[in-house]
Amino acid sequence: MKTKTTIKLAVAALAGFLFIAASSGDAKAAVISNCTPSLVSLDFHGAPSSGRLRIWCTADNTNYYTNPNSSCPAANIDQVKMWQTIANSAFLSGKRLNIGYISCGVDRSIDFLEMSN
């Protein structure tokens, strides 16, 4: 009797897992073009050990982050360093950024970063 209950629970759990896996597609990146960064910062408050890069765009008055919360894809330390270099260069030179991002609830997690004229 106990074995049948265990098997039923295992089958139900597997079915639930397969349903969730099949229904959750990959997040698609949206893009903000012509972002003029008015703030570039890096902090470790509430962020993973790789830190959290923040870029404020005047084009849409929005913050873009690496590692904004646990439901967003995480960027490793090398990505954070490269993106910080690109963002600082754009900030200091007055160039614009194209930022690919993934929405994770209310946060926008940086997916890619490009500097343009």
Give the CATH number for residue 77: 2.40.50.50
* Average pLDDT of the segment spanning 32-56: 83
What is the pLDDT at residue 9? 41
Q: What is the mean pLDDT of the chain?
A: 77
In a domain, 36, yes or no: yes
The pLDDT value given to residue 86: 96
Summarised one tens digit per residue, pLDDT across range 57-88 is 998 899 999 987 778 888 888 898 999 999 99
Q: Would residue 16 count as lying in a domain?
A: no
Question: Does residue 5 belong to any structural domain of this protein?
Answer: no
- Asked if 91 and 73 count as a contact pair (C-beta separation under 8 A), the reply is no
Is 13 inside a domain boundary? Answer: no
| Sequence-ordered strand ranges (E) for the chain | 30-35, 37-43, 52-57, 62-65, 96-104, 107-116
What is the distance between the alpha carbons of residues 116 and 83, in angstroms, rounded to a whole number?
14
109, 73 contact by CB (below 8 A)? yes
Is the model's pLDDT at 4 over the cut of 50? yes
Per the structure, the count of domains in the chain is 1
The whole-model pTM stands at 0.70
Task: Confirm whether 12 is domain-assigned.
Answer: no
Residue 6, domain member (yes or no): no
| Residue 57 near residue 99, CB atoms below 8 Å | yes
- How many other C-beta atoms are found inside a 10 Å radius of the C-beta of residue 73? 13
Q: Report, as an integer, the average pLDDT of 1-11.
A: 48
The answer to whether position 18 is within a domain reads: no
pLDDT at 72: 85
Containing structural domain, residue 92: 27-116
In a domain, 56, yes or no: yes
For the cut 50, the answer to whether the pLDDT of residue 7 exceeds it is no
Q: What is the mean pLDDT of residues 1-24?
A: 41
Instruction: Output the pLDDT for position 49.
Output: 64
